[in-house]
Amino acid sequence: MDEQRTAIEEATSRVIDLEAELEASGNATTEGEALLRVREILHRWIDTVTAVVSTPGVGRVVLIHENGRESRIASPDLPSLVAVPVIWAKPQA
């Protein structure tokens, strides 16, 4: 558990430092009531998705929301998780 906690702290620190280089401030929410609040907001936000465009080759997912707005997520994992699997064999009749 300590290794996981250290990895989370390192990742959040890296993101905040990168944002600071762009002269933008950021904050990390990693536990407790604050994290529960953010998760609830994210669940409500994701429920507004009406279409998903997954591009595993470039590590990006575009969410299309019910109001027509787009949200882009860069991720090494998410595009593959939501992409339709390739089936190489013909289905049995």
According to DSSP, the residues that pair with 71 across neighbouring strands are 63
Q: What is the mean pLDDT of residues 82-93?
A: 79
pLDDT, one tens digit per residue, over 34-86 is 999 999 999 999 999 999 999 999 999 999 999 999 999 999 999 999 988 77
CB proximity list for 62: less than 8 A, separation 6 or greater: 52, 53, 55, 70, 71, 72, 73
pTM, entire model: 0.71
**What is d(CA 61, CA 69) in angstroms, rounded to the nearest whole number?**
14
- Residue 1: the pLDDT is 65
Residue type, 36: L
